[in-house]
Amino acid sequence: LVQVVESGGGTVQTGGSLRLSCTVSGLTVGSYAMGWFRQGLGKERQGVSCITGTSGSTYYAASAQGRFTISRDNGKNTLYLQMNSLKPEDTAMYYCAAGTGCYLNSNVGLVAGLQYSGQGTQVTVSS
């Protein structure tokens, strides 16, 4: 049984930082493409960042580039998303995802071949 559990969300002011964590059981994070996507209220799902399973190459949506950093700890089987310089438009539910690869061009930052995701953690950025 695969379980994906996100944590670390909260409410911060504009310019603040948060670190999201994704603890996974039942699969090895280093063997899957892992990533984060978000969905704001009434908005479409948006890829944020993705890291490939083998090489560990990282990809970011334009909105996340330069502000967010994706990483993983294979020993803890955990994925992270460090978010700095947060903006009100970053407000959304953030989900951790595991799949077969990372989109490279259109939809960059989104996990391809989504296989597993969690229940999400809410991030709210106040102005």
What b/e readout covers 4-23, taking b as 16+ CB neighbours within 10 angstroms?
A: bebebbeebeeeeebebbbb
Check residue 16 and give its pLDDT.
Answer: 98
pLDDT value of residue 54: 84
Q: Would you write out the chain's pLDDT as a tens digit for each of its 127 residues?
A: 999 999 999 999 999 999 999 999 999 999 999 999 999 999 999 999 999 998 999 999 999 999 999 999 999 999 999 999 999 999 999 999 999 999 988 888 999 999 999 999 999 999 9
- Distance separating alpha carbons of residues 26 and 3, to the nearest angstrom: 6
